[in-house]
Amino acid sequence: MTLLNEPRRRRRSTGVAAAAAGLLAALLTAGPAAATPDPGDGAVTQKEVSRSAQAQVRAAMSDGEIPGQDEVVHSDNIEHVANIPKEAFTGFNSDLAFQGKYAFAGNYDGFRIFDISNPRAPRTVAQVLCPGSQNDISVSGDLLFLSTDSSRSDSSCNSTTQPATEKSSWEGMKVFDISDKANPKYVAAVETACGSHTHALVPERRNVYVYVSSYSPNAAFPDCQPPHDGISVIKVPRKAPEKAAVVSFPVLFPGEGQDGGGNPGSPTNPGVAKTTGCHDITVLPSKDLAAGACMGDGILFSIKDPEHPKVLDQVEDNVNFAFWHSATFNQKANKVVFTDELGGGGAATCNATVGPNRGADGIYDIVGKGEKRKLVFKSYYKIPRHQADTENCVAHNGSLIPVKGKDLMVQAWYQGGVSVWDFTDSAHPEEIAYFERGPLSTGTLSVGGSWSAYYYNGYIYSNDIAKGFDVLKITDRRTDPAKRVRLRELNVQTQPDYFD
């Protein structure tokens, strides 16, 4: 664990406007630039920005308008209590899950298990190497679930990359036994159409249902054929996980022909991703509800019958949303926060050129009852600090901070850092705390920053793509009541009823 120096507590000026570099102009005019979102999906690249943009970054640092390179800054109510650096031999860090005194952190080469019984001194319990793009991660009881969204030579953890055009290629869900946290055992693999970019668990007493989100089919891919307008549902018996299998493929966007019934994207809706599946789904089992962020669409659906979910409402935002990325319910299940991953997580979109409504959160109220419930747009939320053109920044993964009567959320923004914000008033959200580092680079757009930032049993945990596993503590009268809420397990895409 690294020793933490006391950072300067200062707020970035919201008046710092990054230059409209050629890279950004290309991003905003190239149609659905986020067709394959999340920066690790492609080869790791660094994109040089213009000389004028580089000069502006250096000037902003010199003037104190943005932090220095790699400098840690935060609001007065946030404390940075620990960091475990990323292992040099692993790929990008990705999502997080929690169980008891353990945190499970995915990365593009497998996953790590941390003992967080002392959040100020977390320690590594296990490092599992099992390459596969994303490695989105969840846990339930003695089982751990891992998404593979890159075409592999086989389902083993020793596989190599192989073209999706080959029928023998594999991608999908992997299942591990984690009854011994120090020695996880790989016990099952289930191939799914177009792989598994992310997944959400619908746990039951005897079985765990896994909703698998994947997208971008191609007629040349034998196992990923268009229109691919639904999700794969896997049933995993808890006592016999080796029998896990796909039990249904519910179509969420029915329509004629190869395009299905989702958003047609460009050129009909310029700059908007065509819907060919879902990026992420969040379920709220206590209310039999789920919300899907599905490329060009946001949906609300019933999961009363987990094998056959039913869409209740479908919404689009063809003005400001390029790629519907993820969803979060509030505790009362009368609101959903959707995120727009403009630029796929690899672009600099937190600046004056892009503005406050793109690459942001969209807050929707849920109105009506039963099968007549509808999503009604209320407002956008975006971090109020402009970032440099060398920093990838956009709305990404977050979770509720459980305070009764309030709608509070912590959220990752890649190199925009971690933001804590209040959306109790759907029309007027506001930030109440933040943590971030200065740019990784002053000359190139280098991918890094917080992939996921979640609140769990009194602390905020962030998985930084480049810098590793961070632990933060927020002390604020608005969030302090959450410290009394304790969970045995947390998969953010399977939202708990915090006050049940």
**Arithmetic mean of pLDDT, 327-351:** 97
Residue percentage of the chain with pLDDT more than 90: 83
Specify the residue for token string 């009823």: 497
pLDDT at 80: 98
Residue 205 belongs to some domain of the structure = yes
Cα(337)–Cα(278) distance, integer angstroms? 16
Q: What pTM was computed for the model? A: 0.93
Print the domain residue range for 110.
22-490
Q: Is the pLDDT of residue 438 over 80?
A: yes
Per-residue pLDDT tens digits for 340-382: 999 999 999 999 999 999 999 999 999 999 999 999 999 999 9
Please tell me the total count of domains within the chain.
1
Q: For residue 403, give the CATH number of its domain.
A: 2.130.10.10
Angle subtended at Cα 445 by Cα 443 and Cα 450, rounded to the nearest 5 degrees: 125
Residue 7 belongs to some domain of the structure = no
Return the CA Rg of the chain: 21
pLDDT at 60: 81
Specify the residue for token string 């929690």: 98
Confidence of residue 39 (pLDDT cuts 50, 70, 90): low
Q: Is the pLDDT of residue 28 over 50?
A: no
Per-residue pLDDT tens digits for 115-126: 999 999 999 999
Per-residue pLDDT tens digits for 462-476: 999 999 999 999 999
Residue 304 belongs to some domain of the structure = yes
